[in-house]
Amino acid sequence: MEFWAWFMHKFVQHGPLWFLHRSHHVRHPHPVERNDLFFLIYGGISAALFITGENGAHWWYWVGVGIAAYGTVYFFVHDVLIHGRLRFWKKSQNTYLRALNMAHKTHHKTTGRDGSAEFGLLWVSPKYFELARKQAESRKNKITSTDLSR
């Protein structure tokens, strides 16, 4: 699913469906954006695969399960953790989540359809892991040096 999501994001959302996805790359005061329609699009595809897959009798039922599962993970990781659309999660110190956040911020550095990088959701480039590790180490050293100076 991660490869498929990367492919769709890079070549479809930043391609012919940019008119929907663009709302996600610009600041706005609205709690809902056009990009949220992808939830309905992928949810509709998943539901159609469930319904016609006859409760697992056909292979495409399981594709629908995969789309639904990935969509659930996407919601919590992307919308809740990264963008804070539901404010119940505090900023994490977890290295993986920090690296994921850095990669996503890199993706959002451009507001246009071209020039973005880092189109995946769960896979993080090793350079962001290294940056997150260095930040954690720096934070740990600051805490230790503050404790020693007391």
Are the C-beta atoms of residues 75 and 5 closer than 8 Å to each other? no
Are the C-beta atoms of residues 52 and 43 closer than 8 Å to each other? no
Orientation of helix 126-149 relative to helix 95-107, angle to 10°: 120
pLDDT at position 69 is 95
pLDDT at position 31 is 83
pLDDT at position 64 is 96
* Helix/strand/coil for 104: helix
* Helix/strand/coil for 15: coil
pLDDT at position 29 is 84
Nearest to 45 by CA among 80, 5, 16: 5
Place of tokens 């956040």: 101
pLDDT at position 111 is 82
pLDDT at position 48 is 98
pLDDT at position 53 is 96
Are the C-beta atoms of residues 58 and 52 closer than 8 Å to each other? yes
In the chain (150 residues long), the average pLDDT of successive 10-residue segments reads 90 94 88 91 96 95 95 88 76 84 88 86 90 87 64
Q: How far apart are CA 134 and CA 124, in angstroms?
A: 16
pLDDT at position 137 is 87
pLDDT at position 70 is 92
